[in-house]
Structure 1
Amino acid sequence: MNDLDETDRAILRELVSDASLGAGELGRRLGLSQPAAWRRVKRLEEAGILRGRRIEVDRAALGFGVTVFLGVRLATKGRISFEDFERAARAIPEVQVVQHVLGLFDYRLRVVARDLADFERVLRRRVMTLPGVGNVEANVVLTEERRPGPLG
């Protein structure tokens, strides 16, 4: 579905900002009736442009004050090594995201920890023992700004 009009883009912007908005509130904000807003949202869902709605959890409020991006290069490469690594990495609760990437590293992991000592424990006892791990580079997140990205 590449025929998004400005109203579709406005709906996407509103929902990226607040995924909990209902069709009635969307309609009020955009000058549409509730049924018209609902139909447009439904069409965006059916086209695969909208896929679910998420709740954002404040990790710091839950006691996870440190976020680290890890670049991981596997020592041994092969289909089985990638699958084994991915399965084991996804099993670590502190690993929030596992991305298979192209470039200097084979994987990028987003890891959360309570503090730096907790991160060191996760790194030594869990990440470094993953199957096939070779080199690891850590980047501690100091600040983060999220942007919705292009919407059409």
Structure 2
Amino acid sequence: MLDDADRRLLRYLQSDPTAPVSELAERCAMQPATAARRLEKLSAKGILKGQHAVIDWTKLGFAVEVSLRFTLDKTAPRAFDEFQDAARKIPEVIAIQTFLGRVDLRLSVIARDMTHYQSLYRNQILTLPHIAELEPLMHVATIKTTETLPI
């Protein structure tokens, strides 16, 4: 498992993912080579999955976000696979989640405006395979979103 030094390193990395290893090492009171080795081990173990840019899609002209909850027709043996494969091909789908329970999947979809969303809905969403039920939920506000873990 993680020791205190690993936790400190991850905590500082979460707070500033662009910080150079030398700065992270200084904050964690360790040598840069030690910090680099620890980060490599955390990556090799799959704990640190990488770093990525987080783009604010609203700044790129997308003003609408809709969550779509799907229940699939499970009489088809490959319903989940075929649905997911088709949904992945829609560029405006930014997340696909599966669930246990009445709802099988949820898609998060972004659109420039309601006209764009309506076009996506009619021409791409409704053509996804094996839909038994569909419930769109219009996002009004995001209260909290974070990828920072309590380490």
TM-score w.r.t. the length of structure 1 is 0.88
Q: Distance in 1 between matches of 2:122 and 2:8?
A: 46
CA contact (8 A) 2:93 2:108 kept: yes
Long gaps (5+) in structure 1: none
Aligned residues: 149
Distance 1:123 1:14 in 2: 41
Spell out, residue by residue over 1:70-108, the C-alpha distance to the aligned partner (whole angstroms, 9 max, x if none): 111113444312111111000001011112211221111
For residues 19-38 of structure 1, what are the alpha-carbon distances to aligned partners after superposition, in whole Å with 9 as ceiling and x for unaligned?
Answer: 22221111122222211111
Structure 1 residues 80 and 65, CA gap change in structure 2 (3 angstroms): same
CA RMSD of aligned residues (A): 1.6
Q: Mark the runs of 5 or more structure 2 residues left unpaired by the alignment.
A: none
Q: Which moved more, 1:126-135 or 1:10-19?
A: 10-19
Q: Which residue number in structure 1 is paired with residue 145 of structure 2?
A: 146
Match among 89, 105, 108 for residue 110 of structure 1: 108
Calculate percent identity across the aligned residue pairs.
Answer: 36
Q: Structure 2: how far apart are the matches of 1:15 and 1:140? A: 34
Name the TM-score, length of structure 2 as normaliser: 0.89
CA distance in 1, matches of 2:35, 2:142: 36
Q: Which residue of 1 aligns with 2:37?
A: 39
Runs of 4+ deviating beyond 4 Å: none
